[in-house]
Structure 1
Amino acid sequence: MPIRILSLPVADLQYALNCMDTWDLVAFSLCSKRTKNLVKFTVRKIKKIEANVYDCRICLTVQAFQTIQNFVFIGIHDSCITLDFGKGTELWRKQGFTQRNWIPHFLDIFHESKIHSLVIMNVRLWDMDTVKQCIPKCQTLRIRENCYIKFENIEFLQLCSIAENAEIEKNIFTNENHISKFLNLNLRSVHLSDWDNPFKLELNDLLTANSINITIQTANIRENELNRYLKLWMKGNNIFNRPSYMKLSLIHEIDRDEVLRGIKYQIVDNECSLNRADGKKLSISIQRNSVDFEFQ
């Protein structure tokens, strides 16, 4: 005999919700505003949500606690989602929902403020607004090396604005879409990687860098530019400096003496230590094809 679950006493209702699989809870949350609030009250957590974008299609990989199926793959369409539990698929609809409603709903019921990662495989420029509407915030933005898109400056910077960290596996920068505008973004970390098409860097790119941790593989910058950068840092100009760590892997062998020419430094634990008049310190490790900066 069917049981009206919402008519159960509070303690029994809470027990029933706690016994539900995560995806039964998600389905229950879609029934009404009341069921959504009840699910939120259970404070069920998930491990991570990853979104992959192929052209205009957004696919989620959700890893959850307390669920029979560890990973669930979700395809988001305009008014419905398809869920792949590994042994078959299900089609879910929610009246009044559009493509932009699904991810905010998941984040809300799981008490998450952002998805864990947004992976751009391919996306058309005119679909960029759709991506931003569906995914208001992410911890990490990843652009894969096989992504064929050529980003225009404004669209790319808008996409980066929803992320805290960025990992880009392809040199997408041009003279018009210059790398300096990307390095100037207020991000927690930046990782650029392209061994076949190195990232061209100039002095001004380093001076205006605004991310906390920066790693670039590989970078095309000469020793004299690095030397000027260090000399300007020693002068303590106001343009310096948000990064706390920066690592550059270079396309050529580096001449350590040229990088440090005319600069007063000390050797501490096999690293070069620079001390500025205002008390700031910079440790530099120079290897055959790389240079590491650690700001203190």
Structure 2
Amino acid sequence: MNLTFYREPDMYWGLGAYGRKKKLTAAKSALVEVRNPDNHSEDTTSEWKKSDYTMKDWLKHLQDIFDIPQIEDIWFKENSSEFDIGDIKEALGNATEFYIENTGCMIFSQMILEKFFPIESLTINTRNFRDSKIPPSLLIQNHTYLSIYKTGENVVPITLNQLLLINSKDINVESLQITSKQINEFIKLWQQGSNPRMEHLRFKYYNIEEDDVMKGIKHEVIPYNQRRLFQSTGLAEPYEIDGGFDFYSMNGVKATIEFNWDWYSFYFDMFVWFDHCVVES
């Protein structure tokens, strides 16, 4: 289902945070498009009119009709910084997932993080920060899911020390310029107690040797034909792990490393087998 509120330039400029901003004025109508992905001939489009509805009224009205208890995700894209963040917060309330692409304004991006704090699931473009450097204050937050990427370039500028700061449960970094020795060090530090909340870590990699990654780490090689299911917090479907390298922390928690690939990239995955992550087959 797709909802369109502003099809004409009926917004006005007013005084908002950090100067003049586009205000979310009362929409006169909403275009409701209901699509059937299996049969587009059944797609329907209708225009609903409520001249006295505010944006907040519209959302509540549509949520009640379609039995949507809350907004699941909010996307901030290019030019979203033209809007007043206070208006957005008031109209939309909070959500579970936030996607912050390159908004074009670093101050606005920071205001998103402040206004909607705490954020459970966050996907963010590093171009929202000066020199694309993620601040430690973001890395140490207790996200359930954190995904970091950078448009226009393959490598996300995150160091080993920054990786050790991340306090999220499920971590995805688009691509890391990291060596086999540094990954080996990360694993050994995890064994000693670093990243205690981490359940899953994934990143793309280049020029990494599996033997060098596992050097000096007591481990067991699991056959590729042995599949296990891993349920990370907040995800609807479990991960399928085929084979891998099993090892343990000093506290006796088991972890598995899996080296994956597709037609375009190589992936490093580390799974930490907390009791709630184990799916019995």
Normalised-by-shorter TM-score class:
0.5 to 0.7
Q: Which residue matches 1:187?
A: 143
Distance 1:83 1:71 in 2: 10
1:223 paired with 2:162, answer: no
Cα displacement (A) at 1:249 = 0.6
Inter-CA distance 77–92: structure 2 relative to 1 (3 Å threshold): farther
Q: Which residue matches 1:134?
A: 91
1:82 paired with 2:38, answer: no
Match of 1:229, SS?
A: helix
Distance 1:125 1:177 in 2: 23
8 Å CA contact retained: 1:185, 1:211:
yes
8 Å CA contact retained: 1:180, 1:208:
yes
Q: Which amino acid aligns with 1:236?
A: G
- CA-based RMSD: 3.3
Distance 1:111 1:187 in 2: 27
* Structure 1 unmatched runs, 5+: 1-69
Distance 1:282 1:253 in 2: 23
Q: Which residue matches 1:267?
A: 221
1:290 paired with 2:267, answer: yes
Q: Which amino acid aligns with 1:244?
A: E
Could you say which structure has the larger radius of gyration? 1
Q: Select the residue among 154, 158, 170 that pairs with 1:213.
A: 170
Cα displacement (A) at 1:85 = 4.5
Identity, in percent, stands at 19
Inter-CA distance 194–129: structure 2 relative to 1 (3 Å threshold): same
Distance 2:151 2:209 in 1: 20
8 Å CA contact retained: 2:149, 2:173:
yes
Question: So what's the TM-score if we normalise by structure 1?
Answer: 0.61
Q: After superposition, what is the alpha-carbon deviation per residue over 1:22-68, rounded to whole angstroms, capped at 9, x for unaligned?
A: xxxxxxxxxxxxxxxxxxxxxxxxxxxxxxxxxxxxxxxxxxxxxxx
1:201 paired with 2:158, answer: yes
Aligned residues: 221
Q: Select the residue among 52, 65, 75 that pairs with 1:119.
A: 75
Distance 2:114 2:2 in 1: 30
Q: Select the residue among 131, 150, 153 that pairs with 2:106.
A: 150
Distance 2:101 2:110 in 1: 19
Inter-CA distance 131–85: structure 2 relative to 1 (3 Å threshold): closer
Q: Which residue matches 2:189?
A: 232
Cα displacement (A) at 1:272 = 1.5
